[in-house]
Amino acid sequence: MKILVVSAYYPPHHIGGYELGCRDVVNQLRQRGHQVRVLTSDFQAANNSQPEEPEVIRELHREAPGRPLEKKAECRKFIRAVDDFQPGLIYFWSQSELCYWLPVVARWRGCRTAFFLSDTNFVSWRVGAWLARFAQGKGIISKFVRTVFGKTLLVRGWPVIQNQPCHFASDFLRGVAQKNGLRVAPETSVVAHWGIALAQFPAAPRERWPVRRLLYAGQMIPQKGVHTAIAAFALLAQEPGMEALTFTLAGGGMHPDYEMKLRQLPAQLGVEGRVAFLGKVPRAELPSVYAEHDVLIFASEWDEPFAITPLEAIASGLAVVGTTTGGSGELFRNRKTAMTFRAGDVADCARAIRELCGDRDLFQTLCRNAQREVREKHSLDAMVDAVEKSLRQIG
């Protein structure tokens, strides 16, 4: 098949793990004999010297505060890319910040389309809300528009994914679509949980007991609950028997003010010498980071769709202490595949880590069960099998 993948971000210029996952799927599809080209935005990550990948077009613009998209210009660029490549199918990934008319234009031109949905933003992917701006405010005109047209598509807009084939990264995301009244094509829509290339994340052949080194890996943003994890570590660090416990944080983000506050927290909480910040770590170096640690702290406080980092850490032999918000509960089951705690609760996070550090049998059980589940259900091959089967049915 000839597949055009459209995504707001694509490595090496990316923000988080979902774009890396997109590249993994693209590479797998190519290895399986499909011809794949990527159309993405002109976003440039700072201090990124990695070489550009082949068959990647960086022409689209992203919507930003004070910089609305020129929809006609974006559609023209999209049409040019489609006409040049002549794909049999257009596979839309992250559309947030891109022009929402692109999938509609694709269908108008008779192209088959599909969507991979890895976060909840798809609920807001709507077009044709011509009267929406007039429905805002408290004036007579706004009240009239809301009263007469408020429940129509002229105000609400038409959902971009309505009646389309969709691949959800978790059951949670499929539930979000259902709760919001979004109908998808039933025959070709599937849950394709994120998967990882297991060979890239081998378990280090070393004894991880007793637990000594905690790890956080991911974006440094408030939704990830990094502040909660640091505060929980500071609580534990004061307790007898925890003198050797350390905490490493790997990652960066687009919230420098928040990251600066995080870096100040250890000194404020009296654990400065036991907390290390590695900054943003290239993915190729993550296996060695995982190999040096015992437990991953996953403290996400938003409805996490389904994270990739825990899969990598578990495959690498780490136990996980995490929250079950959003789709995380599909992987984390308390005292079976992870130690879980209430999102945003510092004391409960500390309690979960404490229990894990004090029970060798529990630690080994969690690692064994979680590794088995990742191997059986969350390999990259299993994910792409589900995606490819659906794409073949569509195309």
| Domains of the chain by residue range | 2-124+160-195+380-394, 126-157, 198-377
pLDDT in tens, 189-212: 999 999 999 999 998 877 889 999
pLDDT in tens, 98-124: 999 999 999 999 999 999 999 999 998
Query: Residue 208 in contact with residue 294, Cβ under 8 Å?
Result: yes
Residues forming beta bridges with residue 137, ordered by sequence position: none
Alpha carbons 395 and 393: distance in angstroms, whole number = 6
Confidence of residue 47 (pLDDT cuts 50, 70, 90): low
Q: Which residues contact 143 (CB under 8 A, 6 or more apart)?
A: none
pLDDT in tens, 366-379: 999 999 999 999 99
Alpha carbons 386 and 113: distance in angstroms, whole number = 16
Alpha carbons 75 and 78: distance in angstroms, whole number = 5
Confidence of residue 159 (pLDDT cuts 50, 70, 90): confident
* Options 1.10.287.110, 3.40.50.300, 3.40.50.2000, 3.90.1720.10; CATH of 198-377: 3.40.50.2000
**pTM score above 0.85:** yes
Lowest-pLDDT range, 113-122, 133-142, 258-267? 133-142
- Are 2-124+160-195+380-394 and 198-377 the same fold in CATH? yes
The pLDDT value recorded for residue 53 is 80
Which contiguous run of DSSP H or E holds residue 275?
A: strand 275-279
The pLDDT value recorded for residue 131 is 46
Q: SS3 of 345, please?
A: coil
Alpha carbons 298 and 285: distance in angstroms, whole number = 19
- Structural domain 2-124+160-195+380-394, CATH architecture: 3-Layer(aba) Sandwich (3.40)
Alpha carbons 297 and 323: distance in angstroms, whole number = 9
Confidence of residue 84 (pLDDT cuts 50, 70, 90): very high
The pLDDT value recorded for residue 96 is 82
pLDDT in tens, 312-325: 999 999 999 999 99
Residue 93: phi, psi to the nearest 5? Answer: -105, -130
